[in-house]
Structure 1
Amino acid sequence: MKDWLNEWGSRPMVIAGPCSAETYEQLYATARAVRAQGIRLVRAGVWKPRTRPNSFEGVGEEALHWMDRIRQELDVAFAIEVGHPQHVELALKHNIEVLWIGARSTVNPFTVQEIADALAGTDRPVLVKNPINPELALWLGALERLANRNIAKLGAIHRGFSYFGESRFRNVPAWHIPIELKREMPDMPLICDPSHISGDRSMIQEISQIALDLDYDGLIIETHPDPVNAWSDARQQVTPASLQEILQNLRYPEAANRHPEFRNRLEEIRHGIDMADREILEALHRRMQLVDQIGQYKRDHNLAILDLDRWAQIFESRPKWGKHLNLKKGFVRELYKLIHQGSIRRQTKILNPKKP
């Protein structure tokens, strides 16, 4: 399934170009600059699904005519987003080489199915961005709908997820979700979109490096000759010169399974991790046995399950304990949130047993 990546140069594959195709001159300048760096696949928004009306929503089919001219002159290919069958029809008519389904479309199975039907049997690569909300099933389902329509060249784009708390990211990466996608679909190409994850050009190299360290197959980076004055997503676009610097400063690790000589040492360390994990699970088992005793005591004495004072004490003390073990406060807090949820569920079952 990853063979098609080789059509666009060495791996990891890099897709670069503006958030939106604004003018012919802007698109040409960007394509020429990234092509000079050896990047052949240029991204550009033709139709922009904006959150609010009356903002720039792309120039539409006119941009496809620009791409026809630029493709012939510069020997580049284009990747664009399609949002419904009419977009697909126009994209195929203009020989757009790579299509992607955006995050807002991935959340809607009806929309994905309509696009999949319009693309049935195409030999064009089709990429699927993760849905806005952090739900793996929607992402997998969109890829499966396309595969069911005999679309062989598929890939996934990780662009981060919406989050209502405070975050330094525009869209939190939630790395565990794309990692789970890789586990479910190990042959599916996975491309990182650090521009949309970060929302800030200063973070693009950091996010790109994490993706490469996690063995992603490529990067899609928004690039603009004058990012400050871009018509959309100005903060997260980089100049072609900055793109070149980012790519030159990245470390490109290789997957350990491609180097048998490293396997023995890694397996030795992993054996230690297996033993530590068993100890963790045994400790959790002992803790849950104690939770069961508390649940039985509360049942026998008609006491409420939730004790906020006790939970506040745990939530405050455990991160302090973890600090002495060089464990991050946020990690320990998230861990104990899960443990507390499990404890509440066990006590609830004890106080409210199912009747036969």
Structure 2
Amino acid sequence: MTHPVFADVDTGVDDAMALTYLFASDDAEVVGIASTAGNVPVHQVCRNNLGLLQLCGLSGIPVSQGAEAPLSTPLRTAEDTHGPQGMGYARLPATEQRLTGHDAADAWVRAAQSHPGELIAIAVGPLTNLALALRKEPALPTLLRRLVIMGGAFDYRGNTTPVAEWNISVDPEAAAEVFGGWTAAWGGRPPAHLPIVLGLNLTENIAMTPALLNRLATAAGVTADPMSVHDERGARSASANPLIAVLEDAMRFYFEFHHDQGEGYLAHLHDPLAAAVALDPSLVECRATTVDVELTGTLTRGMTIADWSNRWGREHNALVGVGVDPGVFFDRFIDRVGAFARQVGS
């Protein structure tokens, strides 16, 4: 069975991997892509999304531009993590494809109204677009079949501040509106479904390595020499497969960044896990709780707090991921993306 899927992304190396996973999945029909300012400015995110569609030989998937800045603070971007254009060392092809004439918040609402009760959505960047969509249509949560958010850190260190994860930290006001709006949408009734929230405590278990990347190339029908920390920095892929070449060039930059952070020559695939869970929630173990976002703390702004003990006495508004089997995820990722890359390269 094929499900309509809407993706809100700030593309980004791992966002590109997440989109590729969705394109490669027979059980997903991507019906819209919202571009969010985050890893790079929103105009570059739009270019990346359109270029990725061109690379993959896809057309007819609407791409919308979102807000250029968070709700109430200046934009911070992460070119140090994702490269000056957001794709590491990779270069995406030029394209004649164009953006929609409506903004990303409208795209959220239109997609949900076009597929009421059926739409599966992922939000893997700052939650600015989704917050603005909720302002336009407060009943949006009741129209979705499922929402998966990559954001936060639960009983775990942050990757932007000591306690805050990047997506939430860029626009904490938007995140607070999203978590607050989920319960409000149901008019005091218990929500029929809760968003699945995957924080760093879960996604940092999904560590891509050179060996796994080599397995992906093999699945695509091409040979590749495993990357190494001893390689020349910025070395470009020689793969004959155009999609594998882009993914390898993007991942090399990501490997180098993580190595420079003292985490090893690997890369955390936060967003692809969210894409996989959107299609199959059984990939993760979750725990229902109430989540809120710290907005005023001098040291803790952007921190996500899960009320595991129900101290607040508030309705649950999230299913927080607490367990995952990385091997199961990578087997599925390599099978799907490898076969898709073989198709793209044929």
Q: Same fold (TM over 0.5)?
A: no
Structure having the larger proportion of residues in strand: 2
Question: What is the TM-score normalised by the length of structure 1?
Answer: 0.31
Question: What is the TM-score normalised by the length of structure 2?
Answer: 0.32
Higher relative contact order (CA 8 A, sep 6+): 2
Structure having the larger proportion of residues in helix: 1
